[in-house]
Amino acid sequence: MLSSTPVRRLREGRFRLAAALVALGFTLVVLALLRLQVVDHETYTELSKENRVRLEVLRAPRGAIFDRHGELLADSAPNFSILFRPFPSESVAAALVSQSERWIRRVANLVELDTADVRGRVRDASRSGQSVVFRRNAPVAMRAAVEEMKSELPGLEVQVEPLRHYPNGTLAAHLLGYAGEINEAELDSLSDGGYRSGDLIGRTGIERRYEDMLRGRDGAEFVVVNAMGKRVSTLSEGPPQRPEAGHNLYLTVDLGVQRAMEDAMANVERGAAVALDPRDGGILGMVSRPAFDPNEISRGMSWDRWKQLSEGGANPFLNRALQGVYPPGSTFKIVSMLAALRFGVARADTRLAPCTGRYVFGDRPFACWRPAGHGVLDFIEALQNSCDVYFYQLGPRIGLPHLAETARALGLGDRTGVDLPQERRGLVPDEAWYDRHWGAGRWRKGTMLNLVIGQGELLVTPLQLALMTAEVANSGRVVRPHAVARAGDLPAFRPERPTQAGLEADAAAWSAVHAGLEKAVDAGTGTAARVPGIEVAGKTGTAQNPHGQPHAVFVCYAPAEHPTIVLAFMIENSGHGGSVAAPLAAQILRHVFLPDSLQPKFHPARIAPDTLVELQHAD
């Protein structure tokens, strides 16, 4: 009995020790729970949200583009994209994806991308915490494969996003431009612009120039995800922020005129045409050949396809209407005539030495386009028949300063200020230019014989030719070319002030030029541009160039008394303006002014045989 007392005391001590340890353990647990749930509650709540809640961006559609009558030219259509969403922080699946070459290879094969491309996009997504697009406009089979392999390819999803859509395909492609996915360099330079990886940004044309208006404001919503990053539900705390579409743009373009121009230029391999409203400078239509389909770029173009389009010299992405520069040929004789009349070198009834088919300046002969010559002509007849010899005689008398001043006042040699990007200046050389390039006083006076007929160093764009013709139609009143009339419900656009002051000349000078242009179409080199019942005023041109056949050039306005449309054509390496470009103008003008029953198709047999021979060689 006595021996049991120490044992009991030992057991009781052990029990009290165990009880104390248990109590201490529970106390520590309680304290830890208090720290987790009370002291560090906010910290762990935020960490919890980061692991289960994800911010998803709701892409905003770009604004639509319409013609002046409300006809749709570009909009946004639903598009199924395959994208990768980064996983919640410290996710096992995230590590799996970032390290698994097998995942990379399978995804690359599925979305038809290079493995390095997929690896780089996954890396970018993990760093930024934002999703990246692997494939836009994914075909049905590809989308189905992604849905089937979701469990095997964590992070890969199919999502509906707006895709840029051009319902008319290649029609007006250069004017509208296209939108493409933003690249890393642009993301860095536009870091404060709210752009994200995968966003569309305007590349060319209207899409680029009016990017700020067309681009909408993305929305956002919080969604609940599981440990694998898969969406479970939408977070009920607070409504989502809905995306706001960009502003719709209404252009000055007339879809009917644009279609007529596209039809007329259908067989042109390389060239451009511009239609302007001379009353306000609104662009009615613009065509550049060869063309491209902007839908092909929106859907995602392969590198091989891009190389196919870009190589070979045709360059379908070049907007020749405002980026192509060419000698103006004899259309420049309009400038030369106005310079001569303005500075008193000649009058409308001035007759010079007869044209015998050539003109000798110093010891060098200069040929007229008509080998038999034109005989004795007054100034109006010289413009009507585009007589080179008559203008050769005027060149040195006009002088380079007066010729250059007149050309620039008519919008040549500088940007027109059109609301389209990447416009080129062209060139109207003056004495200072020749002194810089040839040495002071070392350039020949015979240079004027080339310049006065639109050759030599002169370079213009088709848009500049259209602007020049509009100013002539307006008797010197200048307009500024523009393509956008208004944006959504914003106040109507007003074109900025023209970049040039316009050309001042007396009424007699304008009357003489107008008469010469009307006669050129009625009975001169531009008869192929005649339209029944409509008085057309125009000028042909044949621009020589060192790269093959000459370019065919033609400018005109109609109706002559009260012009509502101006056309300018530059058809590369095709021949003479009177036989190649003028008939295209007639086709378009018939569509604009005549009812369907009075729109005969142009055919050479309908022109008198003797006139046809002249047209085939007319300047």
pLDDT given at position 601 = 47
- DSSP conformational letter for 164: E
- Does residue 422 belong to any structural domain of this protein? yes
Same domain, residue pair 171 and 286:
no
Provide the sign of the torsion angle of the four alpha carbons 105, 107, 111, 114, taken in this order.
negative
Distance in angstroms (rounded) separating the CA atoms of residues 81 and 163: 9
Whether pLDDT at 169 is above 70 = yes
Helix (H, G, I), strand (E, B) or coil at 364: strand
- Does residue 26 belong to any structural domain of this protein? no
pLDDT given at position 112 = 84
- Of 236, 251, 266, at which residue does a domain stop? 251
- Does residue 12 belong to any structural domain of this protein? no
Cβ contact 349:515 at 8 Å: no
pLDDT given at position 533 = 94
Helix (H, G, I), strand (E, B) or coil at 380: helix
Same domain, residue pair 230 and 272:
no
Same domain, residue pair 261 and 222:
no
DSSP character string of 227-241: TT--EEEE--SS--B
Pair type for strands 156-165 and 249-251: unpaired
Q: Which residue has the tokens 């400078």?
A: 281
Convert the pLDDT of each residue in 553-610 to its tens digit.
999 999 999 999 999 999 999 999 999 999 999 999 999 999 775 555 443 333 343 4
Looking up residue 282, the CATH number of its domain turns out to be 3.40.710.10
Same domain, residue pair 272 and 241:
no
- Does residue 475 belong to any structural domain of this protein? yes
Pair type for strands 249-251 and 65-66: parallel
- 72-85: average pLDDT: 86
pLDDT given at position 336 = 98
- Does residue 286 belong to any structural domain of this protein? yes
* Residue 222 pLDDT grade (very low, low, confident, very high; cuts 50, 70, 90): low
Q: Extract the tokens encoding 59.
A: 């892409």
- Does residue 479 belong to any structural domain of this protein? yes
Same domain, residue pair 161 and 283:
no
Same domain, residue pair 217 and 276:
no
pLDDT given at position 262 = 97
Lowest mean pLDDT, pick from 36-40, 308-312, 401-405, 460-464: 36-40
Question: What mean pLDDT is reported for the chain?
Answer: 85
Helix (H, G, I), strand (E, B) or coil at 201: strand
| CA 599 centroid distance within chain | 32
Helices (H), 74-139: 92-99, 101-111, 115-128
Same domain, residue pair 457 and 603:
yes
Same domain, residue pair 219 and 300:
no
Q: Is the pTM of this model over 0.85?
A: no
Looking up residue 101, the CATH number of its domain turns out to be 3.90.1310.10
Convert the pLDDT of each residue in 382-408 to its tens digit.
999 999 999 999 999 999 999 999 999
Same domain, residue pair 220 and 279:
no
Residue among 296, 72, 85 nearest 180 (CA): 296
- Of 251, 269, 291, at which residue does a domain stop? 251
pLDDT given at position 58 = 72
Same domain, residue pair 340 and 460:
yes
Burial 483-515 (b: 16+ CB within 10 A, else e): bbbbbeeeeebebeebebeebebeeebbebbbb
- Does residue 34 belong to any structural domain of this protein? no
pLDDT given at position 603 = 39
Total structural domains in the chain?
Answer: 2
Same domain, residue pair 568 and 595:
yes
pLDDT given at position 95 = 52
- Does residue 83 belong to any structural domain of this protein? yes
Q: What percent of the chain has pLDDT over 90?
A: 54
- 276-280: average pLDDT: 96
Cβ contact 425:298 at 8 Å: no
* Residues comprising the chain, all counted: 619
* Preceding omega of 290 cis (within 30 degrees of 0): yes
pLDDT given at position 288 = 98
- Of 205, 232, 251, at which residue does a domain stop? 251
Same domain, residue pair 131 and 195:
yes
Range of the domain at 484: 255-617
* Residue 298 pLDDT grade (very low, low, confident, very high; cuts 50, 70, 90): confident
Burial 282-315 (b: 16+ CB within 10 A, else e): bbbbbbbbbbbbbbbbbbbeeeeeeeebeeeeeb
